[in-house]
Amino acid sequence: MKNYLLSLIAVIVLALIAYVGAEAATWPQYVFGIIIPYLAMTIFIMGTIRKILGWARSPVPFRIPSTCGQQKSLPWIKQSKIDNPFTFFGVIVRMVLEVFLFRSLFRNTKCKMSKGGKIFFDLEKWLWVGAIVFHWSFLVVLLRHLRFFTNPVPGCIQFLEQVDGFIQIGLPGIFLSGFALVAGAVFLLVRRIVIPQVRYISLASDYFPLFLIIGIALTGILMRYFTKVDIVGAKEILMGLVTFHPSISANINGIFYVHLFLVSILLVYIPFSKLMHMGGIFFSPTRNLANNSRAVRHINPWNYPVKVHTYDEYEDDYREKMIEAGLPVEKE
């Protein structure tokens, strides 16, 4: 079966399980509203810590930054301080731009060949645009959700909501980020299916999180704009979770549990998958190191002596010939 169909079906089945379960009786609501979220959060935290400690445990024996600009050398040659950092500060700037603006991806080009065999490189910013829209809207949506976990809601979260909801068409006001998230995820999904090379490299585990996130976003949108979930009831459940006084609410319907269940699945999925890239970028030695290993000695903790062919052995091999050729030797 096609990888993406497999992933789509998996997400649909998961959603159905939660929906049917929560609609059928009260006891599954305890499962989907309390037990699974706690379990998921525990796995997420433990798994993420384990992964990060695992990376941290392996040393960085060599200084191997990818240098993407002029090195620091002679004082009158202009150094590219961000793309080829020499100092820790330069590295910080490089990392910030990488993490928040996907600077490397921004360089993206597309290689084309004419019939005559001439190669062209077009700028290709769509992947960058899609990635920026997806990740930033995801972050805004996530931060906006803090209103369900805090009481009183901090001013900065309220401000974020105002900015995000500046378009007012009827009630409730529209949050742009939710739709941008769907659009971004759908773009990344369609691109993955449509571009032959990308489809070729895509695994079921690449489609699954996209469908999952689209599912989460759609159920969120459904609750807010269409089924009009009981916000007070929803907040009660969520506040109960974070204050460790879990409870369920009678007025909450199945869609809410689908939403929560898919989020739980996502949390469990993160530490065991490529979604750890959000932590991994900070550990990437080609980006987080300064290119100064000629000026400052980098230490390899496991550096060990190796067998070398010494000068003395070399001279022993060739002494006669060296003397004959007039080359200086240590032992005549």
Partner 1 sequence: MSDELLKPDELIANIEPAPPRKGWMDTPINIRKGMYCYASNHKSVASLDLPNARPWNPLEDDWKLPENWKDIIFNGFRERLDKFRSFKVFMDICVRCGACADKCHFFIGSGDPKNMPVLRAELLRSIYRNDFTTAGKVFGKMVGAREMTMDVLKEWWYYLFQCTECRRCSVFCPYGIDTAEITIMGRELLNLLGLNIDWIATPIANCNRTGNHLGIQPHAFKDMLDFFVEDIEEITGITVEPQYNKKGADILFITPSGDVFADPGTYTCMGYMLYFHFLKEKYGLDVTWSTYASEGGNFGLFTSHEMMKRLNSKMYAEAKRLGVKWILGGECGHMWRVINQYMDTMNGPTDFMEEPVSPITGTKFENAKSTKMVHIAEFTADLIKHGKLDLDKSRNDHLKVTFHDSCNPARAMGMLDEPRYVINNVCNHFYEMPSNTIREQTFCCGSGAGLNAGENLELRMMGGLPRANAVKHVHEKYGVNTLSCVCAIDRAALPPLMEYWVPEVEVNGLHEMVANALIIPGENERTTDLRGEPLAGMEGDDVE
Considering beta carbons, is residue 20 or 203 the nearer one to partner 1? Answer: 203
- Between 97 and 222, CB nearer to partner 1: 97
Q: Which is nearer to partner 1, 86 or 256 (CB)?
A: 86
DSSP 71-110: PS-STTSPP-TTTS--SHHHHHHHHHHHHHH-HHHHT-EE
Residues of span 81-100 touching partner 1 by CB under 8 A: 83-84, 86, 98
107 part of the interface to partner 1, by CB under 8 A? yes
Residue 167 interacts with partner 1 (CB under 8 A)?
A: no
Q: Which pair of tokens denotes residue 218?
A: 């759609």
Angstrom distances, CA of residue 27 to CA of 255, 260, 327 = 16, 16, 91
Q: Which is nearer to partner 1, 63 or 224 (CB)?
A: 63
* CB nearer to partner 1: pick between 145 and 192: 192
Output 138 or 256, the one with its CB closest to partner 1. Answer: 138
The answer, yes or no, to whether the previous bond of 152 is cis (omega within 30 of 0) is yes
Angstrom distance (rounded) from CA 128 to CA 105: 6
- Interaction residues for partner 1, span 233-292 (CB under 8 A): 272-274, 276-277, 280-281, 283-287, 291-292
Strand runs labelled E in 72-216? 109-113, 119-123
The pairing of strands 119-123 and 109-113 is: antiparallel
The residue within the footprint of partner 1, chosen from 16, 20, 49, 66 (CB under 8 A), is 66
Q: Is 331 in the site for partner 1 (CB under 8 A)?
A: no
- Which residues ranging from 204 to 223 are in contact with partner 1 (CB under 8 A)? 204-206
* List of residues 6+ apart from 240 with CB closer than 8 A: 246, 247
- Burial label for 3, CB within 10 Å (0-12, 13-18, 19+), is middle
Using rule CB under 8 A, residue 307 touches partner 1 = yes
Q: Least distance to partner 1 from the beta carbon of 185, Å?
A: 13
Buried b (16+ CB within 10 A) or exposed e, 200-236: eebeeebbbbbbbbbbbbbbbbbbbeeeebbeebbbb
One of 71, 150, 249, 253 touching partner 1 (CB under 8 A): 71
# residues near partner 1 by CB under 8 A: 97
Tokens 């550990």, located at residue: 283
Binding mask 20-59 for partner 1 (x = CB under 8 A): -------------------------------x--xxxxxx
Half-sphere exposure of 39 (CA within 13 A, CB side): 12
- Would you give the binding string for partner 1 spanning residues 121-160, x where CB under 8 A is met? x-----x---x-----------------------------
* Residue 6 interacts with partner 1 (CB under 8 A): yes or no: yes
Residue closer to partner 1 by CB (options 62, 166) is 62
Task: Give the residue with the Cβ less far from partner 1, 228 or 294.
Answer: 294
Classify residue 51 as exposed, middle or buried by CB count within 10 Å of its CB (0-12, 13-18, 19+). Answer: middle
Q: Is 110 in the site for partner 1 (CB under 8 A)?
A: yes
Q: Residues 27, 169, 308, 332: which binds partner 1 (CB under 8 A)? A: 308
Q: Identify whether the C-beta of residue 105 lies closer than 8 Å to the C-beta of residue 294.
A: no
Residue of 61, 190, 232, 242 interacting with partner 1 (CB under 8 A): 61
